């Protein structure tokens, strides 16, 4: 088995756990305070990772290593952080309004549509019958979940 497949599984599980716990924390702290606390901790984890990359560069994949100075900043570098903010704010809010299952099914379909478009226009990968069929069945899952 290719262990790399565990990464998206861990991301999927973490997305729901994070959203659920942030939703529960928001009952006690308020969502803005819960997100601030969580993101301060993410900043700390990122600093520790960066220190690890500098101290032990061979221990992590090449992707983690510094390749260009931050002075070469491009405007579109802000897009991932905006997306992250939407994710960490939207999931707990969505869970509180419509529940975790509906939020998850809608996220999966939105991710499938976006990933098909990304593959097509950015990665230049063709849309094939299996991708289309998968999207079709995910839309059925949305319908079943939303109208149940």
Above 90 in pLDDT, residue 3?
no
Sequence spans of domains, the chain: 1-98, 99-148
Asked whether the whole model's pTM tops 0.75, one would answer yes
Task: Please list, in sequence order, all residues whose beta carbon lies within 8 angstroms of the beta carbon of residue 146, skipping any fewer than 6 positions away.
Answer: 102, 105
pLDDT of res. 2: 83
Percent of the chain with pLDDT over 70: 100
Average pLDDT, the chain: 92
- DSSP string across 42-98: HHHHHHHHHHHHHH-GGGS-GGGS--S-GGG--GGGHHHHHHHHHHHHHHHHHHHHH
- Quick: pLDDT tens for 43-60: 999 999 999 999 999 999
User: How much is the pLDDT for 70?
Assistant: 82
């Amino acid at each position: 088995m290719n262990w790399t497949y565990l990464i998206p599984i861990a991301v999927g599980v973490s997305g729901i756990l994070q959203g659920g716990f942030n939703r529960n924390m928001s009952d006690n702290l308020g969502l803005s305070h819960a997100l601030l606390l969580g993101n301060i901790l993410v900043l700390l984890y990122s600093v520790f990772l960066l220190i690890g990359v500098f101290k032990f560069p061979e221990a992590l994949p090449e992707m983690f290593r510094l390749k260009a100075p931050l002075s070469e900043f491009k405007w579109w570098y802000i897009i991932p952080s905006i997306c992250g903010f939407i994710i960490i704010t939207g999931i707990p809010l969505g869970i509180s309004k419509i529940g975790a299952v509906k939020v998850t099914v809608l996220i999966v379909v939105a991710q499938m549509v976006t990933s098909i478009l990304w593959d097509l226009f950015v990665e230049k990968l063709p849309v094939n019958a299996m991708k289309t069929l998968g999207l079709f069945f995910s839309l059925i899952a949305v319908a079943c979940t939303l109208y149940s």
